[in-house]
Amino acid sequence: MARFSLAFLLCTGLAAAKYIVPGARWHDTDGNLVSAHAGCVTLDEKTGKFYLFGEYKVEGHTEGGGVSVYSSDDLATWDSHGLALAPVEGHPYISPQNIIQRPKVVYSDVSKEYHMWWHADNSTYGLLLQGFARSPNISGPYTFVSAQAPMGNWSQDFGMFTDYKDGRSYALYSNGDRKEGRDVYLTSYNNDTTSLEQIIHRWDKFDLEAPSIVQTDKSYYALMSHKTGYRPNNVVAFRADSLSGPWSQPFIVAPLNTRTYNSQSGFTLRIRGTKKTTYLYLGDQWDSNSLWESRYIWLPMDIDDRRKSLSLVWNDVYDLNVKTGEYAAVKGKSYLAKDATVSGKAIKQEANFASGGVIVSGIYGNDSTVTFTNIEGSGKPQWVSFYYQNTDDMGFGDQPGGTPDRIGGSWQLRRIASVVVNGNVEKVETLFQRDTHKGIILSTPLMLNLEKGKGNTITVGGLWNGFDYKGADLDRIVVYPPEPETKGRH
Ligand SMILES: *[C@@H]1O[C@H](CO)[C@@H](O)[C@H](O)[C@H]1NC(C)=O
Ligand SMILES: *[C@@H]1O[C@H](CO)[C@@H](O)[C@H](O)[C@H]1NC(C)=O
Ligand SMILES: *[C@@H]1O[C@H](CO)[C@@H](O)[C@H](O)[C@H]1NC(C)=O
Ligand SMILES: *[C@@H]1O[C@H](CO)[C@@H](O)[C@H](O)[C@H]1NC(C)=O
Ligand SMILES: *[C@@H]1O[C@H](CO)[C@@H](O)[C@H](O)[C@H]1NC(C)=O
């Protein structure tokens, strides 16, 4: 067995093992935040490597950052290759003032080049075009070719789909927010993916955006989100036997009121392994307070063609084997807030939806906290998920808070909690706790350093989020084992 594992390791390389952790701060192999938002993952058939393309957003800049590119063997460890499409000062379509959004990249069998398409616009979204650039090298640099109006119409929130059965690619786009628009188009490209050819389907007046299609052996599922800006909502899917339809009524793909686990659709990936085909939802968790800190919610999808259903499967931490196509949830150990110690004004409050019927509320600043005790650690960095409820959607009586659930309210996207391990206040971790809903408990992860043994404590308080020092209500934490040194040793 040991010899077999060694051989396996030698022939697959010794890449650092990594789990996929939705909603965490993802770092590349240089230690920088992975900045590739609302993009796509393209498999390079020649090398078997995955390339992640997306909007490059840095602190202080919102638009015009260009398109970044990263590569990975396992969809978890990312090497940065800088900008695939760099902004050009003074350019009418790709200057730093232009909108360069939702980039997608496909390989053209005809030109033997990589073709990149995106939503090209000016800063006020007045152009609504589709940009096109190309490169002989998947990681670029890409050369700008054109910005076009698709079949003469407007284009917003660009998506792309390639049918694995015939290799044909399609553009997906909304024709904008105007009353005459509000449709989503599915339009085929010519065989070289250099221009659009024919409208295949139009989803009329559903007023959706961020479209993506995932294909199974029998079906197509088109996922789209509602239009609520950077605030997440209930993503829906339509199903059909063929791209031209008939398409089903839309249905919701994640538990109601989780707002699709606080994410927006944008891309989906089909991983055809030697043992299993796994379908991944590649969602964005936008942070309008600091766009550059937006996160990624990548989750497996449970698709049942017989029942004609698709739903996202939440996992705090999972281990995906891109070769076999299998994935497994990593198992952690729970510590309930019911059994924790509270200080100051933090209280254990009845909550019939919480673990053990109790949730800790009133967490505030550094003097009203909750401390989990007797936590077993490994002595190595490990993931800890915090299960919380944030009811800011109710709005606060004493301040201009509130949200879509309150007419005229303004949305607080997240609270920020402080997390301190073993009383070490020199090292305060910041935990972003996105809005959930009344009675909805979601989780969000942090990588923490716990000491080896069972004597660790984790203390959670509240930090300033721009409005207040309130921390979200806590249900429990789940401590995960450290990541294995190498992939393939489970
Ligand atoms: C964007 O384009 C539209 C349509 O041409 C135009 O009306 C608008 O002024 C432009 N915005 C900027 C900032 O140039
Ligand atoms: C393609 O990109 C890779 C990685 O960015 C680089 O090492 C290589 O030199 C590039 N090749 C060409 C032909 O530009
Ligand atoms: C785009 O399509 C809509 C719906 O068919 C139509 O009303 C509108 O005039 C079109 N816009 C352009 C610029 O062609
Ligand atoms: C692509 O289409 C052109 C014209 O429509 C045709 O001449 C060519 O043979 C096609 N190439 C492939 C690889 O299908
Ligand atoms: C506790 O928070 C207050 C602000 O509410 C701050 O002034 C003080 O420095 C903090 N104390 C510690 C020990 O962090």
Q: What is the 3-state secondary structure of 63-100?
A: CCCCEEEEEECCCCCCEEEEEEECCCCCCCCCCCCCEE
Distance 195 CA to ligand 1 centre (A): 24
Q: What is the mean pLDDT of residues 276-295?
A: 94
- Taking CA atoms only, the protein residue closest to ligand 4 atom 13 is 110
What is the full DSSP assignment across 353-376?
Answer: TSGGGEEEE--BTTTB-EEEEEEE
Distance 125 CA to ligand 1 centre (A): 7
Q: Tell me which ligand sits closest to the C-alpha of residue 141.
A: 2
pLDDT tens profile 43-99: 998 899 999 999 999 887 766 799 999 999 999 999 999 999 999 999 999 999 999
Q: Tell me which ligand sits closest to the C-alpha of residue 195.
A: 4
- Our answer on whether the CB atom of 77 is closer than 6 Å to any ligand 2 atom is no
- Taking CA atoms only, the protein residue closest to ligand 5 atom 2 is 366
Q: Is 110 exposed, middle or buried (0-12, 13-18, 19+ CB in 10 A)?
A: exposed
- Our answer on whether the CB atom of 154 is closer than 6 Å to any ligand 3 atom is yes
Which residues neighbour 418 within 8 Å (Cβ) at sequence distance 6 or greater? 366, 428, 429, 430, 431, 460, 461, 462, 463, 471
pLDDT of residue 411: 64
Distance 187 CA to ligand 3 centre (A): 15
pLDDT of residue 276: 97
- Taking CA atoms only, the protein residue closest to ligand 4 atom 6 is 191
Range(s) for CATH 2.60.120.260 in the chain?
333-479
Amino acid at 51: Y
CA distance 99 to 85: 13
C-alpha gyration radius of the chain: 23
Residue length of the chain:
490
Q: Tell me which ligand sits closest to the C-alpha of residue 71.
A: 2
pLDDT of residue 404: 52
Distance 200 CA to ligand 3 centre (A): 16
Q: How far apart are the first and last CA of the chain?
A: 12
Q: Which atom of ligand 2 is nearest to the CA of 82?
A: 5
CATH number of the domain located at residue range(s) 6-329 in this protein: 2.115.10.20
Angle (CA) 19-456-385 rounded to 5° is: 35
- Our answer on whether the CB atom of 389 is closer than 6 Å to any ligand 2 atom is no
Question: Domain 333-479 adopts which CATH fold?
Answer: Jelly Rolls (2.60.120)
Answer whether residue 11 shows pLDDT above 50.
no
Could you give the strand order of the β-sheet that contains 220-226, starting from the edge strand earlier in sequence?
A: 208-215, 220-226, 236-240, 251-252
Distance 238 CA to ligand 2 centre (A): 39
- Taking CA atoms only, the protein residue closest to ligand 5 atom 9 is 366
CA distance 44 to 21: 24
- Ligand 3 site-directed mutation target among 128, 129, 151, 154, most atoms within 8 Å of CB: 154
- Taking CA atoms only, the protein residue closest to ligand 1 atom 7 is 126
- Ligand 3 site-directed mutation target among 155, 175, 183, 185, most atoms within 8 Å of CB: 175
Q: Which atom of ligand 2 is nearest to the CA of 137?
A: 1
Q: Which atom of ligand 4 is nearest to the CA of 191?
A: 1
Question: For residue 184, which of 132, 221, 222, 149 has the smallest C-alpha distance?
Answer: 222
Taking CB atoms and a 6 Å cutoff, what residues make up the pocket around ligand 5?
Answer: 365-366, 425, 469
Range(s) for CATH 2.115.10.20 in the chain?
6-329
pLDDT tens profile 151-200: 999 999 999 999 999 999 999 999 999 999 999 999 999 999 999 999 99
- Our answer on whether the CB atom of 99 is closer than 6 Å to any ligand 1 atom is no
E-strand stretches of 378-413: 381-389
pLDDT of residue 214: 98
Confidence of residue 485 (pLDDT cuts 50, 70, 90): confident
- Our answer on whether the CB atom of 153 is closer than 6 Å to any ligand 3 atom is yes
Q: Tell me which ligand sits closest to the C-alpha of residue 155.
A: 3
Residue 205 has what DSSP assignment? S
Distance 366 CA to ligand 5 centre (A): 6
Distance 58 CA to ligand 3 centre (A): 35
Q: Which atom of ligand 2 is nearest to the CA of 141?
A: 14
Residue 45 has what DSSP assignment? T
Answer whether residue 13 shows pLDDT above 70.
no
- Taking CA atoms only, the protein residue closest to ligand 5 atom 14 is 366
Answer whether residue 136 shows pLDDT above 50.
yes
pLDDT of residue 228: 83
Tokens of 50: 């995955």
Amino acid at 85: L
pLDDT of residue 380: 95
Q: Which atom of ligand 4 is nearest to the CA of 192?
A: 1
pTM of the complete model:
0.93
